[in-house]
Amino acid sequence: MSRPASIRKPRASSQARIAVILSAARELLAEQGMANLSVYTVAERAGIPPSSVYHFFASVPALLEGLTADVHATFRGSLLEPVEHAALRTWHDLSRLIEQRMLAIYAKDAAARQLILAQHGLAEVTQADHQHDLELGRLMRALFERHFPLPQLPMDIDVFSLAMSLGDRVYARSVQLYGEITPRLAEEGMRVFDAYLGLYLPAALPKRATPLIP
């Protein structure tokens, strides 16, 4: 399977070229969906030769993997943003804040909706998305742990990444039906996220007096 360009750790000049390619792919994906995406259309939109695209991405699935990594970098950034500890009353407040940040990313990024929520049938992209979800789950658990002392959680599954995936299923249904995440189904997705976490986190989980230092 082709690997996202981000793990190659390219030089600054290469990183700039990759950014141009991914930006062009993102625009085309938002405008036309995956059906019309090709190395040649991306190269034309980016204003570079197709060989330059092939140098970094050997195929459309490889290009989409790179774009998926780019999207998930934005999600990771949302989990690293500051959280006002004093504003949290229960873990549900933190849960809602996290989901609202992710919904905001979906709302403004059509490429994210296409890659993660739409039915595209590309195994490479789906597998890359699952791998990134595991990383997001670890970051989410660390964020919860910073503000709330967590109980003993299962070792064989990551409840945070699974909760996120379950919420995404609701958001995906909304995109399939309406082309966007509607306010009604956004609320349902957040309820699903909370309901699953609620199987493991007590409703009266006490908040830490002060948050742990990251």
User: DSSP for the chain?
Assistant: -PPPGGGG---HHHHHHHHHHHHHHHHHHHHH-STT--HHHHHHHHTS-HHHHHHH-SSHHHHHHHHHHHHHHHHHHHHHS---GGG-SSHHHHHHHHHHHHHHHHHH-HHHIIIIIS----HHHHHHHHHHHHHHHHHHHHHHHHHS------SSS-HHHHHHHHHHHHHHHHHHHHSS--HHHHHHHHHHHHHHHTTTS-TTPPPPSSPPP-
- The distance in angstroms from the start CA to the end CA of the chain is 34
pLDDT digits (tens, 9 = 90+) for 159-195: 999 999 999 999 999 999 998 999 999 999 999 999 9
Give the phi and the psi of residue 12 in degrees, each rounded to 5.
-60, -40
Closest Cα partner for 204 from 41, 105, 90, 49? 90
Q: Which of 7-16, 129-138, 151-160 has the lowest mean pLDDT?
A: 7-16
Give the model's pLDDT for residue 5. 46
Cut 0.85: pTM above it: no
Average pLDDT over residues 85-114: 94
- What's the whole-number average pLDDT of the chain? 89
Average pLDDT over residues 87-113: 94
pLDDT for residue 210 is more than 50: yes
